[in-house]
Amino acid sequence: MELITKYFGDFTPVQLQQFAALDELYNDWNSKINVISRKDMESLYEKHVLHSLAIATAFEFKPGSTIVDLGTGGGFPGIPLAIFFPEVKFLLVDSIGKKLKVVDAVAAALELKNVTTRHTRVEEIKDRKFDFVVSRAVAPLKDLWQWSKPLLKKPSPNSENQKPGLICLKGGDLAQEISESGCRPRLMEVHEIFGEEYFKEKYMLYVSL
C-alpha cells in the first residue's frame, strides 16, 4: 500500500480505504478461485495495482466517460482505475466466468458503483461504444486493435489531446509485435514513471482512432 501513496498523494479517505482493502480481498478470493499467481500475490500492489495505475499517470479520463477493460482477468487494470476515477464508468469483460465472479465480489465489497461486468468475448459486444479500451497483456497488439476499433466512439472535434483509443500495458521487446500490427502507437516506458526494478521493459501503448 505504501507503494501507491509513494506515487499518488491526492486520494480521498474512501479511495485510500478501497486500495488498502484490495490485499485482504484478493488474498481471500484467490484462495478459492485462482486469478493471480500465488507468487504475484506477495507483490499485489506492485505487479497489479501500481502497474494498472500507470494508465492514470498518462491519461485523465473525464467524469462521465466510459471505459471497457478487455480481458480483465481478476480485474486489472479495471478495478484500480475504477477506484482512481470514481466518476468514470467501467465495463470489465472476460470470457471466463469464474474470474468475473471474483471481480464482482471485489467491486461489491469496495462499493464501487462505477463498475459493471460482462461475461462475453469482447468482439461480441455490439450494443455499446466507449471512450477508451484498456487491456493488460491479453493478446498481440494486432488483435487488440482489431477488437477495439468497433467499440470506440467517434472522436469529437475538441478531443485533440485524447482521442478515443486503445491503451494497453505490455512487456518485453515489442518491435515485431508493433510492426505486425500495422499500428503506430504512442509508446511510454512505465519505468520512467515508477522507478521499481519490476517496471523495466514494461510499456504502455496508446493507439487512437
- 174-185 pLDDT, tens digit per residue, is 999 999 999 999
Query: Is residue 122 a known part of a binding site?
Result: yes
76 appears as a binding residue in the annotation: yes
- Going along the chain from its start, the domains and CATH numbers come out as 2-208 (3.40.50.150)
> Buried (b) or exposed (e) across 153-181, using 16+ Cβ within 10 A?
beeeeeeeebbbbbbbbbeeebeebbeeb
- Mention every residue, 6+ apart, whose C-beta is less than 8 A from residue 32: none
136 is in an annotated binding site: yes
The helices-and-strands tally (H runs, E runs) of the chain is 9, 7
- Decide if pLDDT at 161 tops 70: no
Q: What pLDDT shows up at residue 138?
A: 84
Q: Is 46 annotated to bind ligand?
A: no
Where are the extended beta strands (E) located within 99-171? 115-119, 132-136, 165-171
- Helix or strand holding residue 80 (H, E): helix 78-84
CA 18 to CA 140: how far, in whole Å? 32
- pTM of the full structure: 0.96
Q: Residue 159's pLDDT band (boundaries 50, 70, 90)? A: low
CB atoms within 10 A of CB 30: 18
Report pLDDT digits (tens) over 68-121.
999 999 999 999 999 999 999 999 999 999 999 999 999 999 999 999 999 999
Judge whether 138 is annotated as a binding position.
no
pLDDT tens per residue across span 23-66: 999 999 999 998 998 888 999 999 999 999 999 999 999 999 99
Indicate whether 192 pLDDT > 70.
yes
